[in-house]
């Protein structure tokens, strides 16, 4: 290329004023516009002005994309600057025109750093400052962050920038990042599902609490759980005769077998029956009283998992449980997803009965707010606090568990008052 970079100055007109004031949509669109053009996103920061208007920049390995919006005019001024020729900024232009619902745009491309006008200096890293030998730059020179956020809260994890896995399935975007603090991390549609360093918390608590409370689980069903961690923990219990895993998306299993092998270590187990299908349909076709334990190891109530948070679905689960069967669900964060949390517990009580539904908590650092909840719903008389503590203690020791033990089992059901108040509150 005869220039160091291409800089396109863009004016988008007659955009949707609402979209021009939607900071989350604008940031997601700018990041996606960069990625679609083949750029590597290093970081992004966006600001929502009061009373309206948004400014932001996406730093890419190949330079940057920047924007400022005037919702009151349905107008956006955008800068697309790329170095080298691996990224075509016009791809980002077309992506953003769509995303902002602009009726038309005008643009001007400038070639920045015309080679013919530039003379290379003898600048090298070493000679930059004082001529003092500079400390060698650490191997990871890129400052790349994965961020999961909603309007007000964000969780960011630094990663190596090497995207280990990235595929769009018919249901969701399946990605694996190599984070520096938590090892490889599986995300679905930009939401953290599990990381190598803390997945055991979730998987030990969603399994051993019900199995050791029930005391005689023979057949267990897991809906979702494509990372494999839940079935791995269930299959530690020799008393269990069969575990059925119903996962809708085989790419999740593929990604975890490749990049989270410890989590996906039980997919070859002889007692495991793996079905790639929609759990909602599977449960409808399942005979009454088929399972002692049904674990709904779903993602959040969006996309393919939305239907796993409905009264219809839970009623089907109730029907498929044996007379003393237990349903366990991941029931979101009482602080991050408060409305969903209150609503689903209300739904559980409507199906299982007021005193048959129990909430327990666990500390999961890479989940929003770090505090996550589970529901323990009993069809018969199994009660989560009436379990054999010696058996639980021995099991935890023999299996070398890293989170679950007999004390945590009891403590997890000790709820802070704000959670008790939420559970007492009625969905209006």
User: Is there binding between residue 189 and ligand SAM (CB under 6 A)?
Assistant: no
Give the Cα-Cα-Cα angle 302, 355, 373 (nearest 5 degrees): 35
Helix 338-352 × helix 417-424 angle, to 10°: 60
- The residue whose two tokens read 């991050």 is 336
Nearest to ligand SAM of 248, 317 (CB atom): 248
User: Is there binding between residue 165 and ligand SAM (CB under 6 A)?
Assistant: no
User: Is there binding between residue 252 and ligand SAM (CB under 6 A)?
Assistant: yes
Nearest to ligand SAM of 134, 302 (CB atom): 302
Catalytic-labelled residue, pool 189, 249, 278, 297: 297
User: Is there binding between residue 297 and ligand SAM (CB under 6 A)?
Assistant: yes
Instruction: Return phi, psi of residue 270, to 5°.
Output: -60, -25
Region binding ligand SAM by CB under 6 A among candidate stretches 61-69, 94-102, 219-227, 347-355: 219-227
Q: Which of 397, 239, 220, 189 is nearest to 294 (CA)?
A: 220
Q: Which of 37, 36, 56, 38 is nearest to 47 (CA)?
A: 56
Tokens of 37: 């053009």
Nearest to ligand SAM of 188, 326 (CB atom): 188
The yes-or-no answer on residue 249 being catalytic is no
User: Is there binding between residue 225 and ligand SAM (CB under 6 A)?
Assistant: yes
With contact defined as beta carbons under 8 Å apart, do 114 and 3 qualify?
Answer: yes
User: Is there binding between residue 233 and ligand SAM (CB under 6 A)?
Assistant: no
Nearest to ligand SAM of 249, 406 (CB atom): 249
User: Is there binding between residue 334 and ligand SAM (CB under 6 A)?
Assistant: no
Q: How far is the CB of 169 from ligand SAM (least distance, A)?
A: 8
User: Is there binding between residue 201 and ligand SAM (CB under 6 A)?
Assistant: no
User: Is there binding between residue 80 and ligand SAM (CB under 6 A)?
Assistant: no
User: Is there binding between residue 283 and ligand SAM (CB under 6 A)?
Assistant: no
User: Is there binding between residue 279 and ligand SAM (CB under 6 A)?
Assistant: yes
User: Is there binding between residue 198 and ligand SAM (CB under 6 A)?
Assistant: no
User: Is there binding between residue 406 and ligand SAM (CB under 6 A)?
Assistant: no
CA 125 distance to own-chain centroid? 39
Beta bridge partners of 45: 57
User: Is there binding between residue 196 and ligand SAM (CB under 6 A)?
Assistant: no
User: Is there binding between residue 328 and ligand SAM (CB under 6 A)?
Assistant: no
Nearest to ligand SAM of 53, 183 (CB atom): 183
Nearest to ligand SAM of 93, 367 (CB atom): 367
Q: How far is the CB of 297 from ligand SAM (least distance, A)?
A: 5
Specify the pairing of strand 191-195 against strand 183-188. antiparallel
User: Is there binding between residue 274 and ligand SAM (CB under 6 A)?
Assistant: no
User: Is there binding between residue 278 and ligand SAM (CB under 6 A)?
Assistant: yes
Nearest to ligand SAM of 174, 382 (CB atom): 174
User: Is there binding between residue 185 and ligand SAM (CB under 6 A)?
Assistant: no
Region binding ligand SAM by CB under 6 A among candidate stretches 75-83, 150-158, 277-285, 316-324: 277-285
Region binding ligand SAM by CB under 6 A among candidate stretches 55-63, 67-75, 248-256, 346-354: 248-256
User: Is there binding between residue 204 and ligand SAM (CB under 6 A)?
Assistant: no
- The residue whose two tokens read 């608590």 is 205
Q: How far apart are CA 144 and CA 132, in angstroms?
A: 29
Which is it for the CA torsion 173, 337, 222, 164, positive or negative? positive
Nearest to ligand SAM of 23, 164 (CB atom): 164
Figure out which of the listed residues 65, 67, 194, 392 binds ligand SAM, where binding follows CB under 6 A. 194
> Residues with catalytic annotation?
297
Which spans of this chain sit near ligand SAM (rule: CB under 6 A)? 188, 193-194, 202, 223-227, 246-249, 252, 278-280, 297-299, 304-305, 307-308, 330
């Amino acid at each position: 290329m005869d220039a160091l970079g291409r800089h396109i100055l863009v004016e988008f007109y007659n955009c949707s004023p609402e979209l021009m004031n939607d900071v989350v949509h604008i940031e997601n669109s700018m990041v996606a516009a960069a990625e679609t053009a083949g750029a590597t996103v290093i970081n992004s920061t966006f600001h929502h002005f009061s009373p309206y208007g948004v400014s932001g920049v996406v730093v890419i390995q190949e330079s940057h994309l920047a924007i400022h919006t005037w919702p009151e005019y349905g107008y956006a001024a955008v800068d697309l600057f790329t170095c080298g020729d691996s990224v075509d900024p016009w791809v980002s232009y077309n992506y953003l025109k769509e995303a902002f619902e602009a009726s038309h745009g005008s643009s001007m491309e400038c070639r920045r750093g015309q080679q013919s006008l530039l003379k290379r200096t003898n600048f090298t890293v070493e000679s930059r400052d004082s001529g003092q030998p500079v400390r060698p730059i650490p191997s990871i020179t890129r400052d790349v962050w994965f961020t999961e956020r909603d309007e007000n809260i964000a969780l960011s994890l630094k990663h190596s920038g090497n995207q280990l896995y990235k595929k769009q399935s018919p249901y969701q975007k399946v990605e694996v990042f190599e984070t520096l603090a938590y090892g490889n991390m599986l995300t679905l549609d930009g939401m953290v599902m599990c990381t190598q360093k803390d997945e055991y918390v979730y998987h030990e608590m969603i399994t051993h609490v019900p199995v050791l409370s029930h005391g005689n689980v023979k057949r267990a069903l897991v809906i979702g759980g494509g990372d494999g961690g839940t079935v791995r923990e269930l299959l530690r219990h020799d008393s269990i005769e069969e575990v059925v895993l119903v996962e809708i998306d085989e790419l999740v299993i593929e990604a975890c077998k490749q990049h989270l092998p410890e989590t996906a270590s039980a997919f070859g187990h002889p007692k495991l029956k793996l079905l790639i299908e929609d759990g909602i349909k599977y449960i409808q076709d399942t005979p009454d009283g088929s399972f002692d334990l049904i674990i709904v190891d779903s993602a959040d109530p969006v996309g393919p998992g939305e239907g796993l948070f409905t009264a219809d679905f839970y009623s089907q689960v109730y029907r498929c449980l044996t007379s003393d069967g237990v349903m366990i669900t991941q029931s979101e964060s009482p602080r991050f997803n408060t409305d969903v949390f209150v609503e689903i517990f209300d739904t559980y009580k409507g199906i299982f009965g007021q005193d048959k539904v129990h909430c327990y908590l666990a500390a999961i650092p890479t989940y929003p707010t770090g505090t996550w909840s589970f529901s323990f719903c009993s069809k018969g008389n199994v009660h989560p606090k009436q379990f054999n503590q010696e058996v639980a203690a021995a099991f935890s020791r023999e299996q070398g568990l890293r989170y679950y033990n007999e004390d945590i089992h009891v403590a997890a059901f000790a709820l802070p008052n704000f959670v008790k108040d939420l559970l007492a509150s009625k969905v209006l």
